[in-house]
Structure 1
Amino acid sequence: MTQVVDVVVIGGGQAGLAAGYHLRRAGLDFVILDAQPTPGGAWQHTWDTLHLFSPAAFSSLPGRLMPPQPGETYPDAAHVVSYLTDYEQRYELPVHRPVRVAGVHRDGELLRVGTDSGTWLARAVISATGTWSRPFVPAVPGRADFQGAQLHTVEYGSPRDVAGPGPGVPPGRSRRARVIVVGGGNSGAQIAADLAYETDLTWGTPREPRYLADDIDGRALFDHATARRRALDEGRTDTGGVASLGDIVAVPPVREARDAGLLKAQPMFDRITPTGVAWADGTTAEADAIIWCTGFRPALAHLAPLGLRGPRGRIPTAGTQAIGEPRLHLLGYGDWTGPASATLIGVGRPAREAVRALAGRLGAA
Structure 2
Amino acid sequence: MRFDTVVIGGGQAGLSAGYHLARDGRRFVILDAHERIGDSWRRHWDSLRLFSPARYDGLPGMRFPAPPGSFPTRDEMADYLEAYAQRFELPVRCGTRVDRLSQEDGEFVVTAGDQRFEAANVVVASGVWGAPSIPAFAGELSPEIRQMHSSEYRNPAQLRPGPVLVVGASHSGADIAYEVVREHPTILSGTDTGEIPFYFEGRVASMALRVLWFAATRVLTVNRAVGRKLRAEVRGHGGPLIRVKKEDLRKAGVERVVDKTTGVRDGMPVLADGRVVDVANVVWCTGFRPDYGWIDLPVTGEDGYPEQE
TM-score range, shorter chain: 0.7 to 0.9
What does the per-residue CA deviation read over 1:181-205, in whole Å, with 9 as the maximum and x for residues that have no partner? Answer: 0112111111111111111101001
CA separation of 1:239 and 1:44: change in aligned 2, threshold 3 A? closer
Letter in 1 for 2:140: D
Q: Give the whole-Å Cα distance in 2 for the aligned partners of 1:184 and 1:221.
A: 22
Once the two structures are superposed, the pairs formed by residues 276-287 of structure 1 within 5 Å of their partners are 276-287=268-279
Q: 2:286 aligns with which of 275, 285, 294?
A: 294
Deviation at 1:277, TM superposition (A): 1.9
Does residue 193 (structure 1) correspond to residue 178 (structure 2)? The answer is yes
Once the two structures are superposed, the pairs formed by residues 1-365 of structure 1 within 5 Å of their partners are 3-68=1-66, 73-139=70-136, 142-147=137-142, 148-162=145-159, 164-165=160-161, 177-206=162-191, 208-216=192-200, 220-229=211-220, 233=223, 247-251=240-244, 257-258=248-249, 260-266=251-257, 267-303=259-295, 305-317=296-308, 319=309
TM-score normalised according to structure 2 size: 0.86
Q: Give the whole-Å Cα distance in 1 for the aligned partners of 2:292 and 2:211.
A: 29
What does the per-residue CA deviation read over 1:279-321, in whole Å, with 9 as the maximum and x for residues that have no partner? Answer: 3544221011111111123342321x2233321111222x2xx
CA separation of 1:107 and 1:219: change in aligned 2, threshold 3 A? farther
What fraction of aligned residue pairs are identical, expressed as a percent? 33
Q: Give the whole-Å Cα distance in 1 for the aligned partners of 2:246 and 2:156.
A: 18
Q: Give the whole-Å Cα distance in 2 for the aligned partners of 1:80 and 1:102.
A: 27
Q: Give the whole-Å Cα distance in 2 for the aligned partners of 1:289 and 1:234.
A: 42
Letter in 1 for 2:30: I
SS in 2 for 1:51: coil
CA separation of 1:134 and 1:69: change in aligned 2, threshold 3 A? farther
Contact 1:53 1:249 in 2 (8 A): yes
Q: Give the whole-Å Cα distance in 2 for the aligned partners of 1:278 and 1:234.
A: 40
Letter in 2 for 1:210: G
Deviation at 1:73, TM superposition (A): 2.6
Structure 1 gaps of 5+ residues are 166-176, 320-365
How large is the RMSD of aligned CA atoms in angstroms?
A: 2.7
Deviation at 1:145, TM superposition (A): 1.4
Q: Give the whole-Å Cα distance in 2 for the aligned partners of 1:286 and 1:279.
A: 11
SS in 2 for 1:224: helix
TM-score normalised according to structure 1 size: 0.73
Q: Give the whole-Å Cα distance in 2 for the aligned partners of 1:205 and 1:234.
A: 29
What does the per-residue CA deviation read over 1:155-203, in whole Å, with 9 as the maximum and x for residues that have no partner? Answer: 00000011x32xxxxxxxxxxx211001121111111111111111010
Contact 1:130 1:298 in 2 (8 A): no
Q: Give the whole-Å Cα distance in 1 for the aligned partners of 2:301 and 2:230.
A: 23
Q: Give the whole-Å Cα distance in 1 for the aligned partners of 2:220 and 2:134.
A: 29
CA separation of 1:219 and 1:240: change in aligned 2, threshold 3 A? farther
Letter in 2 for 1:62: P
Deviation at 1:26, TM superposition (A): 1.7
Contact 1:228 1:239 in 2 (8 A): no
SS in 2 for 1:312: coil
Contact 1:269 1:279 in 2 (8 A): yes
Contact 1:17 1:93 in 2 (8 A): yes
Q: Give the whole-Å Cα distance in 1 for the aligned partners of 2:42 and 2:130.
A: 13
Q: Give the whole-Å Cα distance in 1 for the aligned partners of 2:224 and 2:128.
A: 29
Using the TM superposition, name which of 264-273 and 121-130 deviates more. Answer: 264-273
Deviation at 1:259, TM superposition (A): 6.0
Contact 1:99 1:117 in 2 (8 A): no
Count residues in correspondence.
294
Deviation at 1:224, TM superposition (A): 2.2
Deviation at 1:249, TM superposition (A): 0.4
SS in 2 for 1:150: strand
Contact 1:275 1:286 in 2 (8 A): no
Letter in 1 for 2:93: H
Contact 1:56 1:68 in 2 (8 A): yes
Q: Give the whole-Å Cα distance in 2 for the aligned partners of 1:101 and 1:227.
A: 33
1:358 aligns to what? none
Q: Give the whole-Å Cα distance in 2 for the aligned partners of 1:88 and 1:201.
A: 41
Deviation at 1:111, TM superposition (A): 0.7
Structure 2 gaps of 5+ residues are none
Q: Give the whole-Å Cα distance in 2 for the aligned partners of 1:297 and 1:281.
A: 26
